[in-house]
A and B are shown apart, each in its own frame.
Chain A
Amino acid sequence: TQLLEQSPQFLSIQEGENLTVYCNSSSVFSSLQWYRQEPGEGPVLLVTVVTGGEVKKLKRLTFQFGDARKDSSLHITAAQPGDTGLYLCAGRTDSNYQLIWGAGTKLIIKP
């Protein structure tokens, strides 16, 4: 069974602080994606990483794919209340069309 373990499940911090969300698996993924989901809406793609060791930046968000392509992290610098939401990681393996999802990290940024 392929699993993606995401941590922490819940994070509440003050505006301006930094944070990191982790996504770990024993499986190797051909690509790993990060999504953000608002209540009552579908997930919105933030980034896709496909190469081991790859780092991508999206404004204050930095995404990293592990060298072995089994794990990934999302780092937010100087968090803002607008960053509040559910962050989900999802991976694809070469033999699968489906996305394997983490359970999500509920992030609350307090003003």
Chain B
Amino acid sequence: DAGVTQSPTHLIKTRGQQVTLRCSPKSGHDTVSWYQQALGQGPQFIFQYYEEEERQRGNFPDRFSGHQFPNYSSELNVNALLLGDSALYLCASSSRFSGNYGYTFGSGTRLTVV
């Protein structure tokens, strides 16, 4: 049973560019959350998608946007990249029946902005 799959694993972009990160949730999961983890820190919540809608958003600017598709997979888009956007971006999936009991995380996408 495949867990959460994220792509790409690593990415290098230049300031001002745009990036799209992709996530396929664990089989049976219908909810996808995105987190940003800077080096040496805990993850920070970006947003959560359920039923193709953004259900909740963290304290991130509008440059960060997302989408969820009918097959529950999701994309995270970041526009006008800044050096400070360099981080590990984590996708976590859960089920609407068990979201309170834990999330399954992907291995993340390491984004470096130069």
Binding site for B on A (CB under 8 A): 4, 6, 30-31, 33, 35, 40-45, 48, 50, 88, 90, 92, 96-104
Minimum distance in angstroms from B21 CB to a CB of chain A: 13
Give Cα distance in the complex from A92 to B35, angstroms.
Answer: 15
Interface residues of B in 17-59 (CB under 8 A from A): 33, 35, 40-45, 48, 55-56, 58
Minimum distance in angstroms from B36 CB to a CB of chain A: 11
19 residue pairs of the A-B complex, CB under 8 angstroms, read: A6-B42, A31-B100, A31-B101, A33-B103, A42-B106, A45-B103, A48-B102, A88-B43, A90-B42, A96-B56, A97-B33, A97-B55, A98-B33, A98-B48, A98-B56, A99-B103, A103-B42, A104-B41, A104-B42
Q: Which residues of B contact A45 (CB under 8 A)?
A: 102-105
What count of chain B residues pass the 8 Å CB interface test?
Answer: 26
Binding site for A on B (CB under 8 A): 4, 33, 35, 40-45, 48, 55-56, 58, 90, 92, 99-108, 110
Give Cα distance in the complex from A79 to B2, angstroms.
Answer: 31
Minimum distance in angstroms from A73 CB to a CB of chain B: 17
Give Cα distance in the complex from A40 to B88, angstroms.
Answer: 8
Give Cα distance in the complex from A25 to B41, angstroms.
Answer: 17
| A101-B43, A101-B44, A103-B42 given; A41·B102 CB < 8 A | no
| A97-B33, A97-B55 given; A42·B108 CB < 8 A | yes
Total of A-B residue pairs, C-beta within 8 Å: 66
Known contacts A42-B105, A45-B104, A50-B100; 9 additional CB pairs below 8 A are A4-B42, A31-B101, A40-B110, A41-B108, A42-B106, A42-B108, A88-B43, A97-B56, A102-B42
* CB–CB A97/B90 < 8 A: no
Minimum distance in angstroms from A14 CB to a CB of chain B: 24
Closest partner residue, chain A, to B108 (CB atom): A42
Minimum distance in angstroms from B66 CB to a CB of chain A: 14
Give Cα distance in the complex from A60 to B61, angstroms.
Answer: 42
* CB–CB B41/A103 < 8 A: yes
Q: Which residues of B contact A33 (CB under 8 A)?
A: 102-103
